[in-house]
Structure 1
Amino acid sequence: TFETQNRVRLLCWVMTSPVNHKTKAVHVKATWGRRCDILLFMSSKGDVNLPAVALSVNEGRNNLWAKTKKAFAHIYDNYFDQADWFYKADDDTPLFCINFENLKYLLANHNTTEALYFGWRFKHYVKQGFMSGGAGYVLSKCALRKFILEGIPNSTICRPENDGNEDTEMGKCMENLGIPAMDTRDSLERDRFFPLVPITKLISGQTPHDFWYFLYSYYPQKEGIECCSNSAISFHYVSPEMMYVIENLIYNINPYGIDRKMNKSVAVKYGS
């Protein structure tokens, strides 16, 4: 609802690089990025048109963990009081399709003064699991504060080196800080965050069950029309062209005679 949209202040930051500013980042800004209360792009080169923040870090996959730490530190120093929830997304090869109304609906049922961590959950490497960087993940205000003030300064809590898989290292930090990896499925146990394109889930048998998605998922995965929550939030590996298509289908086309109001009894399921 309009009340929910105003109550949940959401900052989105997108991992990007100078070579992607005009080929990928601009499409994020033109589609789902418009619905963030604050939208920032984190790069090694500034760009006022996005806007992109110039972080003092080298580009490259081996530096994504360093870039993530610096990005969250910049946000903590400059935007902490302007938002309650902090969503991190990637802008490397894959791109996203995000439904932020559904994300805000999920977050509205939680208190940002509690240390919480949301996304699509892997089961390996971290006891409580960790959230996929591909599907994007969210930190509450309290979680961000603990990450910056207690996690990054302590090498026994968060990895001090620049390298390491960014989403795995973030998951280790969250667990070491006592921040729970939340169950973001709805009451029918359908996912809201997805690290793959919609077709992977919607068509049964499209993806072999020995694929990493099925092997590493924290929860059993469903396929077919019942795969995905009616309050789904994010998909991964969506091309720039398809981002515009999905944007139009979600926000500009309304089938006549169909009531698309959400079934709240189905949509709500929360916990760690």
Structure 2
Amino acid sequence: MKIRFFKINLSLSCLRYWWIVTVFLGCCSLIGRFLPLNRTAVSIGDVTHSASPPIQHRILCWIPISAKSKFRAQLIQKTWGKQCDVLLFLSSQADASIPAIGLPVEDAYSTLWGKTSEGLKYIYENHLNEADWFIKADDDTYVVVDNLRQFLMSHDISLPHFLGSRFAHNRLLKGYFGGGAGYVMTRETIRIFVEHVYNNGFDMCINGHNGEEDSYLAMCLEVFDVIFGDTRDCNGAERFLQLSLHNLYRPFDYQSTLRAFFPSKLTVRH
């Protein structure tokens, strides 16, 4: 009986003071309705728009062409070239119908190195500040520019990057990037080439216009602090395809295995 009596008295005691709590909470609610809002508060809309979207890197696409490949240049203009922020065609002679810029180079396959070196100099003097990345592609190369732009977002554009399909070379410690797949560089890389190689008479690499443009360019840049990057994805698959699909799927092909800078990865599917 004592325990039960204690419980009844405790309940009556709580009810006796409950009206005080109710009055206090009611007063707080009434006062809050007349207080001014906090003017420094950030609204939900402000929070939503405070995070600025990632800056889209600008891409300049430059394609060395010959006087006979006008049709290929027009195809690029109608297809993947539309995705480039700047699109340039560099030839041995100017052609306003494309338009193509004329370079002081003989129009021949053997002078690809000349078109490359003179093309980099032309871009340095006329278009260096119009883009963040500069991709050189052949007139028979197809580039998915949106995928390339997304891949490049993870790279610092202030650094001298050099990217592409990387191959080994018996005279180049860093290897070289195959011209057929296209290679990409930043403004700083172009600046290094023009100011320290071209303007100094190619005293550390190959001078003249004749020769292999991809290995010669790597030879000129490897002595500097240029970053020869790895463009493979997280599974080791190549993003820049220098060879045809037929050769890429032959695991013992000389081009795709013995000259690959990174070990080729054979995937077995069941």
Which of 130, 147, 151 is matched with 1:102 structurally?
A: 147
| Match of residue 3 from structure 2 | none
Alignment partner of 1:197 out of 241, 244, 248: 244
Residue from 92, 95, 101 that aligns with 1:44: 92
User: Deviations along 1:69-88, whole A, 9 cap, x unmatched?
Assistant: 11111111111111111100
Residues of 2 paired with 1:167 and 1:153: CA distance? 19
Structure 1 residue 48: Cα displacement:
2.5
1:153 aligned to which of 199, 202, 208: 199
SS of the equivalent of 1:139 reads strand
**Residue-by-residue CA offset, 1:199-234 (whole Å, 9 max, x unaligned):** 544xx4xx36143222111112235698xxxxxxxx
In the alignment, the residues of structure 2 paired with residue 115 and residue 210 of structure 1 have an alpha-carbon distance, to the nearest angstrom, of 32
Answer yes or no: is 1:90 the counterpart of 2:138: yes
Amino acid at match of 2:106: N
Residues 1:211 and 2:254 are matched in the alignment: yes
Superposed CA deviations along residues 78-127 of structure 1, whole A, max 9, x for unmatched, are: 11111111100112xxx122111111111111111111100000111310
Task: Answer whether contact 2:247 2:253 (CA < 8 A) is retained.
Answer: no
Q: Is the 8 A contact 1:90 1:134 kept in 2?
A: yes
CA distance in 1, matches of 2:90, 2:268: 36
* CA distance in 2: counterparts of 1:158 and 1:31, whole angstroms: 36
Percent identity, please: 33
State the distance in 2 between where 1:123 and 1:134 align.
15
Partner of 1:182: 229
Q: 2:268, 2:129 → 1: CA distance?
A: 40
Structure 2: how far apart are the matches of 1:107 and 1:157? Answer: 29
The equivalent residue for 2:129 is 81
Which of 65, 69, 84 is the aligned partner of 2:117?
69
Structure number having the greater helix percentage: 2
Give, in angstroms, the shift of residue 10 of structure 1.
Answer: 0.4
The 2-side partners of 1:57 and 1:120 are apart by 26
Do the aligned residues in 2 keep the contact of 1:40 with 1:50 (CA within 8 Å)? no
- Write out aligned runs for 1:1-272 (5 A): 7-22=56-71, 24-91=72-139, 95-124=140-169, 125-154=171-200, 155-201=202-248, 204=249, 207=250, 209-222=252-265
Distance 1:59 1:138 in 2: 24
Contact kept? 1:151, 1:177, Cα under 8 Å: no
The number of residues matched between the two structures is 215
SS in 2 for 1:65: helix
Name the SS for the 1:163 alignment partner. Answer: coil
Amino acid at match of 2:263: P
2:61–2:134 CA contact under 8 A, matched in 1: yes
Q: Given the superposition, is the C-alpha separation of residues 211 and 100 from structure 1 closer, same or farther in structure 2, using an over 3 Å criterion?
A: same
Unpaired segments of 5 or more residues in structure 2?
Answer: 1-52
Question: Relative to structure 1, is the Cα distance of residues 97 and 225 closer, same or farther in structure 2, using a 3 angstrom cutoff?
Answer: farther
Amino acid at match of 1:142: E
Give yes or no for contact 1:158–1:173 (8 Å, CA) kept in 2: yes
Question: Does structure 2 retain, via aligned residues, the 8 Å contact 1:152–1:159?
Answer: no
Q: Per chain length, whose mean CA-contact separation is higher, i.e. which structure has more relative contact order (CA < 8 Å, sep 6+)? A: 1
Instruction: Report if the CA contact (8 A) 2:193-2:221 is conserved.
Output: yes
Structure index of larger Rg: 2
What SS does structure 2 have at the residue aligned with 1:129? strand
Give the whole-Å Cα distance in 2 for the aligned partners of 1:178 and 1:159: 19
Moved over 6 A (4+): none
CA shift in 2, pair 1:60/1:190, >3 Å: same
Instruction: Indicate the SS of the match to 2:63.
Output: strand
Distance 2:205 2:232 in 1: 27
